[in-house]
Structure 1
Amino acid sequence: MLCFRLSSTLLLAATCLLMSAVLSTERVITCDNRRDVLHLSCDATDSAVISVQSALYGRADSSTCSAGRPPQQVANTECSQEGTLDTLKNRCNGKRVCELNTNVFHTSDPCVGTFKYLDITFTCLPAIYLVACEGSVAHLHCDQGQVINVHGADYGRHDRTTCSYQRPTAQIQNVYCSRVPSSVGESCNGKNTCTINVSNSVFRDPCVGTYKYLELAYTCECKYLKGLFGLFHSAEGNMGLHHTRTGKYLGLFQQPLVCSVTTGTMLCFRLSSTLLLAATCLLMSAVLSTERVITCDNEENVHRLSCDATDSAVISVQSALYGRADSSTCSAGRPPQQVANTECSQEGTLDILKNRCNGKRVCELNTNVFHTSDPCVGTFKYLDITFTCLPAIYLVACEGSVAHLHCDQGQVINVHGADYGRRDQTTCSYQRPTAQIQNVYCSRVPSSVGESCNGKNNCTINVSNSVFGDPCVGTYKYLELAYTCEYPVASPEQTV
């Protein structure tokens, strides 16, 4: 076994390289036909977004897209339209899915008489994907020593479900509404944290009358080490680092090893199966990310919490404030007396949010949930929530079926959240009458699931109105729940 002395700088470089590794590289070619759709996608890869590497609109060989074409239409193999790469980066970078066709490039013709095609190479880049509804505040943040790098942003609307909670139908119909705001990157790149007000006054309005949202993707990169080190793999399957400026190789690590640094020395040791199992359990139970969402007090604004960009993760609300804790948040256009009280908070806010959102992958609501009382009359308030994305087993069972929760031997169930009702028109909808799936604001939080299943190795639940009560008569419902499998904590008597 070879062990090397590593400085903290080198260790940090290794960590950053592993965190910023590209997941996959893809190539897509579409012949020049206005009707054909070019589809770039990273939606099959957990927490990854598109990063366009190269793009050609024109012709670089005589064989691609040549079927049925006369020789003179494929003879020019040095045909390319300027600006193609920039156009594709603006339209697709930072998105999980991007669709377009070649008519985007028909503003000019780089080679008249030549039959052209669009050839794109892109990577799926691990990134933090964020959605913030119009009227809210987006928070971008990185760990200490890292800085933000925005890969793409879009302000508009691309579907009828995102940021749609209790919005009028007319405000969510236009799904071809889009603006690429360069100001996000200009404002946030190179910073450790960044706050963005999501509004038409900041981004301009690409579609008047449509309720919009901001989508963006960013990575956290090491501030001082970017481009300084590279990663290499040996023929024997080992891994190491090299200095990109000098070309010197700095380390070679046999796998599988666990290495830690103590007073500048790397300690390497092989894992026993028991220790490996323990390490795996710790990693599985780790929080995937921590996010913060702020929405100004407007009953029309949608407050959106989401872990849907992270595979098999659900929301766990950590803190929540409805009120005001400072004089700057949601203060634009407000008179001083409305933002002066910075010790305003409504009791019970955290419990309400936990009941409504814990255990769900997406949770949308607005501040009218809290309008049953006013903690500080005359103060303009906001909703400020911090939540984590927790790895969990997510389960859906239709009304009339049986839900089975089970863990591996030695582990027990811990239910993080459950909901009985209906929140969309597609889940558990097969051959159901339209009238039974229309009500998407039907919900009941059944505490009985946790009471029945927590601490058990396996658990069976009958999904029915007789068990949970009927939150919306006439609607066909389903049970959603999230749970983790945990090793029971030994009591003090058992550890003696």
Structure 2
Amino acid sequence: MAFCVGLWLTIMRLLLLTAGVESAEQVITCDINHQQVHHLHCGQGVIDVTDALYGRSSSEVCIEPQSHETVADTKCTRQGTLDKVKIGCNGKQSCDLFLEDFRKPDPCVGTSKYLLTNFDCMPAITAVACEMSIAHLYCGPGHVIHVYGADYGRRNDNICQYKRHRHGIENKECIGPNDIVANKCNGQNKCDIMASNAVFGDPCPGTYKYLEVAYSCGDKDENQTTYLWYKVAQTGKSSLLGIFQLAFNIFGNMASCVGICSKIVLVATALFLATVVNSVEQMTTCDSDNLNVHRLHCEGGVISVDQALYGRSSSVVCAEGRPPQQVVNTQCAGQGTVDALKTECNGKRTCMVNTNTFRNPDPCVGTFKYLQTNFTCFPAITTIACEESLMHLFCEAGQVISVFGADYGRRDRSTCSYKRPPNQLQNVECLSPTEIVANRCNGKSSCTIRAINSVFGDPCRGTYKYLEVAYACFFN
């Protein structure tokens, strides 16, 4: 048993060292004024806060432009911070917290403080279907669907807003979890479900809604083993007792060392390859009506479209409820689809395309079609600092920052929107790239930069902006 676990630990350590990147997420917001917003986000999955600190535990974090006296106390901690962050963020894909809510009582008067949060993003495939569209969940042969969570309604006005009137997307507090998708799809190889009020009820009449689903593919043991590896890597469990504890909680016993170790090796290898070779995503949108929106998204990095099909290449995809004659033609492909998707989506973190764009000319009259895109997300740590806030980029000892890209302005209405009037969020076409962050931070182990017009210029006066940076940590 000891040899088995030792081998397991050695493999994990080597993989993490070779990858050269942290697997957990960390956000640090320096507390410099009353406008500071702490923004957490998971592109795929949901937030699981593991640790949080308001105060100061390091003399190297958020030190610009502070004096030595204000950063000397490194044992400053406000009680209840972890619980407060968990309540505000756990189970959500994104959340905003005001640092002003953590200042009283002041844990150390005269010390410059910051809010630091470590969190995990539970791994999942995320699918979004706009109202009256069909969500298609699909796993490869020999694998089944396992739904982590599903929500129907609206949590922001950036998703499924294509050509929608403002009043139909302004209600952003009407989304809630439900078990309908899990009850229908769990254990199946594929599953289609309509995002409609008839299926889920209407949480907010008059609002254009969407269905958001997070799921994984695999059998029960594979899901458990993947989660075990994930939690060991994220929590940093390095003792035999800690690993036994995690494994026992998930598997119930440790009777089959060989079986578990072999699965861990396979899963670890797959995760390592995904880290090095980039993540490959697939999005499928069934073309049921003029309202269907095809949405691609990369949380950490940018989209690179590899393949795209409008038509039909499979008799099982988007086939539920369709007569056989509408799904039998699997040689149907519209011309120019991949070029159109590349033009619209390459180089962006998010893009939305209406399937109606591809209907003329119809590549196969009488066949029920779908739009399917395979794309790669260039891996990166993505961090956001709201205007007037300080962004802190940080790598562990022996590693240095490499900035992939940085943008200042605004590309959507939901990011950094906490307690902001609508007129400051309306302009979503003012975000532009900047090389200032790369020039200042590349090659350093840590770097602090303020998201402010005096540094980056003002691309849209009157709009509340933010700085968005994608970077990685590599061994020097």
Q: What is the TM-score of this pair, normalised by structure 2? A: 0.49
Greater relative contact order (Cα < 8 A, sep 6+) = 2
Structure with greater strand percent: 1
Q: Which structure has more helix as a fraction of its residues?
A: 2
Task: Give the structure with higher Rg (CA).
Answer: 1
